[in-house]
Amino acid sequence: MKLIEITKDEIKGKIGLMPLGSIEQHGPHLPIGTDGIIVEWIAQKVEERFRDQLILYPTIYYGCSKEHYGFPFISVGYINMINFLLDIVNSSKNAGISSLIIINGHGGNESALDIIRREVNMSNDKCFKLHIFSIVGRDRDLFPNIIDMHAGSVETSRIYAINRRLVREDKLKEVDDFTIKDGVFKTIPTSEANKYGIINVGGRVEVDEEKGKMSLESAVKDLSDLVRKVLEQVKNCNNNA
C-alpha cells in the first residue's frame, strides 16, 4: 500500500517503508536525483511483495549534501534533517505504524540517521523500532578494481538498469580525468577532489546493465528479508504485550 493512497483506517499495525535520497550533482552523466530514484525503485519492488503489511511512504528526495559544495545541490542541514525525520518517525508512531524502515541511498545522510536511530530506539518503547537499510557502499565486489564512492560504476550501472535513458553516455565519454585528491568527504568537497564530481577510485566508470540489475535485485532481496524480520518482531512484541 502507498501512504498517500490509503485511508485513515488502513494505517494501524502496518510497517512503514520510507525511501530517502538526495538532490545533488552526480557527475555530468547521472541525474541529480540519482539516490532517490534508486531507493524508490527498490522500495516499490518490496512494497509489491508485502502489499498487505507494508506502507510505502513518499520518497524524501532532499538529503544532506554539503559535501558537494562548489557543485549544484539542494540540501537540508544536518540538525534540520535530524529534527525533520524525528518528527516523521514520531508522528508515524502516533498514527499507529508499528515500526519504520528507512531505505537510505546517500552517504551524506548516514550520520544524521545514526543519531535518529539511537534517539528513537534507546527509549522505553519495546515494540516500535526504527530500522535503517542502507544501500551506500553495497556491491563494490561487482567491480573488483573500483571503489564507487559517488556517481561511479555501481550507481551508474544501477541507474542504467532502471532506465538507460537517464545515463548520458555521451557525457561520460567526454570525462578524461578520474583521479581523486585525498580527503574527499572529510576535508575537501567533491568539487576539489575531481573536476567532474565523480569519485570512482580505480579508474573509468564502467556501465554494466547486468551488474546494475544484480545490485538492485540483491537489495530487494535483503530488504525483503529485513521486512520479514521486522514483521516477526512486531508480532512477537504484540503477543508479549
- Return residues touching Zn ion (CB under 5 A): 34-35
> What DSSP designation does 54 have?
E
- Closest contact distance (angstroms) between CB of 105 and Zn ion is 6
- Closest contact distance (angstroms) between CB of 21 and Zn ion is 8
Q: How many CA atoms lie within 13 A of 42 on its CB side?
A: 34
**Closest to 62 in 3D by CA, of 99, 93, 115, 104:** 104
d(CA 91, CA 220): 27
Of 35 and 40, which CB lies nearer to Zn ion in the complex structure?
35
Burial string for 167-187 (b: 16+ CB within 10 Å, else e) reads beeeebeebeebebeeebeee
- Closest contact distance (angstroms) between CB of 38 and Zn ion is 8
- Closest contact distance (angstroms) between CB of 150 and Zn ion is 6
SS3 content of the chain, % helix, strand, coil (to 5): 50, 15, 35
Residues with Cβ within 8 Å of 73's Cβ and at least 6 positions away in sequence, in order, are 22, 23, 24, 25, 32, 65, 66
Of 125 and 169, which CB lies nearer to Zn ion in the complex structure?
169
Of 16 and 36, which CB lies nearer to Zn ion in the complex structure?
36
**Closest to 104 in 3D by CA, of 17, 196, 164:** 17
- Closest contact distance (angstroms) between CB of 235 and Zn ion is 35
**Closest to 99 in 3D by CA, of 124, 120, 122:** 120
- Closest contact distance (angstroms) between CB of 45 and Zn ion is 19
Of 34 and 104, which CB lies nearer to Zn ion in the complex structure?
34
Of 41 and 50, which CB lies nearer to Zn ion in the complex structure?
41
Q: Which residue is nearest to Zn ion (CB)?
A: 35
Of 35 and 206, which CB lies nearer to Zn ion in the complex structure?
35
Q: Would you state the cell numbers that stand for residue 159, as one nine-digit string? A: 541507474
